[in-house]
Amino acid sequence: MSLPVVLGIGEFLWDMLPDGRKAGGAPVNFAYHASLHGTEAWAVSAVGNDALGQELEEEARSHGINLSVSHVGYPTGTVQVTLRGGQPEYEICRDVAWDHIPVTGETLALAGKASAIAFGTLAQRCEESRNTMDTVIRTMPENALKVYDINLRQDFFDREVITDSLGKANVLKINDAELIILKDLLDLSGTSDGSLCRELMDRFSLRLLVLTAGASYSEVYHEGGVSHIETPKVKVVDTVGAGDSFAGAFVGSLLNGMSVEDAHAVAVKTAASVCMQAGAWN
């Protein structure tokens, strides 16, 4: 019996830390964790024709991540991380390879049989990748899960991109801080997290809405009600990829027949485990 095919499309990059570099990118983190939960998961992106791109692909494949990655004439993506007074500051480099993800036959073939896709906002900051994401999503089966893991970063978002993305999605994953941003950006009238989530579901005809609130709790809103789980208290090493691991575990568990409540519990446990170790791929 074949595994359900899952895609994560968007940024693929190196986090350039003061003590070295670490491979990442939200859609790739998602694909890695979806693959650990009973799916054939693929990361769809682009790298440059450079040493950083070759090493990034090698690092991902060494962790068992399937790649549908194009080589383009732009540098491989990096995020510069600096420490000021002990606090990290990030500079996401512009006009890099994952801003120019092309449509390929391989990716469309995967999309045509995919059971789910995860996409975000950051990789839509340039028109080429945004158009590719649109084409891939439109190629997918009608009943597939289309997960908009919103991931708002710096100033790389606007009302048009968010509204368009919500129109493509049938599942939204968002954190409590992003929910406040959406309340203002989309002129939502809700007065509580719950009413805002239900308003988003109704306005954009969403099947599911996942709300995470860091160390406090997470909730999954669905037609039958809401699943609420308090966040486990663990010794945090770092939170890199925790949200992506949550999404990957949740989607993989749903596709393998779990209820929303059980899939939610698996996702919470997975994210807590990721927080207890360095990096998202372990």
- Residues with Cβ < 8 Å from 71, sequence gap 6 or more? 46, 47, 48, 49, 53
State both tokens at 279: 């990096």
In a domain, 280, yes or no: no
Q: Crossing angle of helices 260-275/242-255, nearest 10°?
A: 150
Whichever domain contains 142, its CATH number is 3.40.1190.20
So what's the pLDDT on residue 265?
97
Across-strand partners of 6?
Answer: 41, 116
- Residues with Cβ < 8 Å from 198, sequence gap 6 or more? 190, 221
How many whole angstroms separate alpha carbon 147 and alpha carbon 247? 9
So what's the pLDDT on residue 156?
87
pLDDT, one tens digit for every residue, the chain (282 residues): 799 999 999 999 998 877 788 898 999 999 999 999 999 999 999 999 999 999 999 999 999 999 999 999 999 999 887 756 545 577 899 999 999 999 999 999 999 999 999 999 999 999 999 999 999 999 999 999 999 999 888 888 899 999 999 999 999 999 999 999 999 999 999 999 999 999 999 999 999 999 999 888 999 999 989 999 998 888 887 677 788 999 999 999 999 999 999 999 999 999 988 888 877 677
The domain total for the chain is: 1
Residue 208's domain spans which residues? Answer: 5-275
- Residues with Cβ < 8 Å from 209, sequence gap 6 or more? 171, 172, 173, 174, 197, 200, 201, 220, 221, 222
In a domain, 281, yes or no: no
In a domain, 243, yes or no: yes
Give the long-range contacts of residues 193-199, CB within 8 A, separation 24 or more.
193/219, 194/219, 194/221, 194/226, 197/221
Angle of CA points 40, 275, 273, to nearest 5°: 60
DSSP reduced 3-state for 60? helix
Q: Which amino acid is at 112?
A: G
So what's the pLDDT on residue 276?
80
